[in-house]
Amino acid sequence: MLQFDNVSKSFGGVNAVDQCTFTIPSASITGLIGPNGAGKTTAFNIIAGHLFADTGRIVFDGQDVTRLPAWRRQHMGLSRTFQLPHEFSRMSVLDNLIVAAENRDGEHILNAIFRPGRGRTREQEARAMATRTLEFLEIGSLRDELAGNISGGQKKLLELGRALMQRPKLILLDEIGAGVNRTLLGKIADKILELNASEGYTFCLIEHDLDYVSRLCSQVNVMVQGRLLTTGTVADVRNDERVIDVYFGGGKYQEHA
Amino acid sequence: MNAEGIAFYLVSFLTMGGIYAVLCIALNMQWGFGGLFNAGIAGFYAVGAYTAAILTSATAPTHVGGFDLPILSGLLGAGVMAGVTAWGIARVCVRLKADYLAMASIGFAEIIRLVVINEQWLTNGSLGISRIPRPLEDIFSGRQAEVVYVVFVWLVVLLTYFVSQRLSRSPWGLVMRAIRDNDIAADSIGKDVQRFRVDAFVVGSVFMGMAGALSAHYFKFFSPDATEPLLVTFLCWVMLIAGGSGNNRGAIAGALLVWAIWSMTEIITSHLPVEWASRSAYLRMLLIGLFLQFVLQRYRQGLFPERG
């Protein structure tokens, strides 16, 4: 589904991503893990098109998208959520989802002024789909709330819903679990598994909680200092000395005397 | 003052108030819906006013034209010229974040001012353009003409309001609000942020240009003095913020209210002793500032919030 091919990106003197290569297989749930500062979020931003790679290539669904802006990649079926909530705070929860649908006719300014009927059918479809999506995510009761007023965990669900509105092929989830309570976290995991199994969505997620990753992901890529350290199943990488080393700062757990 | 005098004071108040209402709704299209900080309102206003003046005034030996065209073509031409200017600026500047866009647009407005003052062949320089016609001038005169004109101005206010309401309720308006709230997220849901911002900048500027045309026809004379940023840009921002940005009715209410304070205090200050009267403009500006403070302390989102 996606190849992240020998990509580098530096900010000033810092090589945030450094000749890093990995893949996200179709219909998989792939994890991207690594210690803080490993370059995971930078990698996500490069995949989504919010940052451009200095060198290397991004191939999505068979096409080279390295130089395409984010909004064009989204039209090709690449969606994302953000580590820190990026809701449209002064719009209702429902409108946050409706706006994420594609409505090329209605969004043309001349149609908006002279032919307001254009795009109305599409808007109604979007409204229906947004309502269904909110119900699926069990936040239907919040539909008329201002998105800025809902809780952090609910904003994560909102962003997941927003990412689903254009039926993407690949969804990038950047720490969807951060700041979310245990119950909600379990619910989000169920939804991700359900979407993957029944609708065939591909997911790639950044996550720190290895138990959570092992519950969801068939494969994980481990990044350290901008490079890919290793790839494998969660069980594989958990027992990898190098992974333990970077996560726990050298050596295996040692019993204190 | 007798009753008739008061009635005609009201007419002139509503005429200027209406012109400010057009400016304010136009700014609302840019700032209220789109979060675009346009601090160069006076520039688009001037482009519109001079376009209308040159198109519709009688032929003059001192500057280009006038072309003696009908008033409606002046109004239309003003909108088109301001829109084209805005498009050029937007192509370059709209990528900028809010505060930088503000600086760039102030710079643009100052350039327009200097062009207007110095390019005498085009604008007759600081002497200004005179003999600008008013609608139906040969049928109505004196106070009747004033009444005709206030109706004309408010028809344009209605048109502006109508267009702005349509925009705000359309899918285009929804995307615009999303961009205002979070442009990165808007990008991530597949919206071409740049294109939408150019749209909003241009459509708002078209109406700012039309407001300029309205004022040129009203005064029948237009000179660089009328493009003073304090009188156009600053007042217009106060009006929108006090009235409630994001709400078109708030924009109209804010325009009328602030214009009431501004113009009515002039009646009082003109009775002050000479040494005070000369400073009255500053006192009135202070009063406007206090008013804005008062409104924002009590109603944080302006008198008419975006969502009731």
State residue B160's pLDDT score: 97
Contact (CB<8Å) B185/A88: yes
- Give the chain A residue whose CA is nearest to the CA of B173: A107
Higher pLDDT, A249 or A189: A189
State residue B95's pLDDT score: 76
Instruction: Please report which confidence band the pLDDT of residue B163 belongs to, taking 50, 70 and 90 as the band edges.
Output: very high
State residue A257's pLDDT score: 42
How large is the average pLDDT for residues B180-193? Answer: 94
A88 neighbourhood in chain B, CB within 8 Å: 177-178, 181-182, 185-186
B301 neighbourhood in chain A, CB within 8 Å: none
Interval A78-90: pLDDT, tens: 999 999 999 999 9
- Token pair of B119, please? 């390019």
How large is the average pLDDT for residues B32-48? Answer: 94
In sign, the C-alpha dihedral spanning A121, A126, A132, A138 is negative
Contact (CB<8Å) B166/A116: yes
CA distance A6 to A13: 19
Contact (CB<8Å) A106/B170: yes
Contacts of A50 (CB under 8 A, 6+ apart): A70, B184, B187, B188
Q: Is B307 exposed, middle or buried (0-12, 13-18, 19+ CB in 10 A)?
A: exposed
How large is the average pLDDT for residues B198-204? Answer: 95
CA distance B146 to B207: 22
Predicted confidence (pLDDT) at residue A250 exceeds the cutoff of 60: no
- Torsion angle of C-alpha atoms A138, A140, A143, A145, degrees rounded to 10: -60
**Interchain contact A166–B (C-beta under 8 A):** yes
DSSP label of A4 = E
Interval B127-147: pLDDT, tens: 899 889 988 888 888 888 899
In the CATH scheme, what is the code of domain A1-87+167-227+235-257? 3.40.50.300
A83 neighbourhood in chain B, CB within 8 Å: none
**Are B232 and B23 in contact, with CB atoms under 8 Å apart?**
yes
How large is the average pLDDT for residues A140-154? Answer: 94
- Token pair of A249, please? 């700062």
Q: Is B234 exposed, middle or buried (0-12, 13-18, 19+ CB in 10 A)?
A: middle
Instruction: Please report which confidence band the pLDDT of residue B1 belongs to, taking 50, 70 and 90 as the band edges.
Output: low
State residue A255's pLDDT score: 46
Q: Where in chain A is the domain with CATH 3.40.50.300?
A: 1-87+167-227+235-257
pTM of the model: 0.91
State residue B264's pLDDT score: 84
Interval B45-98: pLDDT, tens: 999 999 999 999 988 888 887 788 999 999 999 999 999 999 999 888 877 777
Instruction: Please report which confidence band the pLDDT of residue A249 belongs to, taking 50, 70 and 90 as the band edges.
Output: low
Mean confidence (pLDDT) of chain A: 91
Give the number of other CB atoms < 10 A from CB of residue A79. 26
In sign, the C-alpha dihedral spanning A75, A77, A81, A82 is negative
Amino acid at A220: V
SS3 A106: coil
What ipTM does this complex have? 0.91
CA distance B93 to B70: 34
Predicted confidence (pLDDT) at residue A180 exceeds the cutoff of 90: no
CA distance A223 to A207: 12
Predicted confidence (pLDDT) at residue A65 exceeds the cutoff of 90: yes
Contact (CB<8Å) B177/A90: yes
How large is the average pLDDT for residues A162-168? Answer: 94
Instruction: Please report which confidence band the pLDDT of residue B288 belongs to, taking 50, 70 and 90 as the band edges.
Output: confident
B175 neighbourhood in chain A, CB within 8 Å: 99, 107
How large is the average pLDDT for residues A2-26? Answer: 94
Strand segments, DSSP code E, in A175-256 are 202-206, 219-224, 227-232
